[in-house]
Amino acid sequence: MRELASKKGVTPAQLAIAWLLAKGKDIVPIPGTKHVGYLEEDAGALNAPLTPAELRELDEAFPPGITAGTRYPDMGAVNR
Q: Tell me, what's the pLDDT at 76? A: 60
Q: Tell me, what's the pLDDT at 33? A: 86
H-helix segments, 1-80: 2-8, 12-22, 36-43, 52-61
**What DSSP designation does 78 have?**
P
Q: Stretch 36-56: mean pLDDT, rounded?
A: 93
Question: Which is more confidently placed, 53 or 78?
Answer: 53
pTM for this predicted structure: 0.77
**What is the C-alpha end-to-end distance of the chain, expressed in Å?**
37
Q: Where are the domains of the chain?
A: 2-76
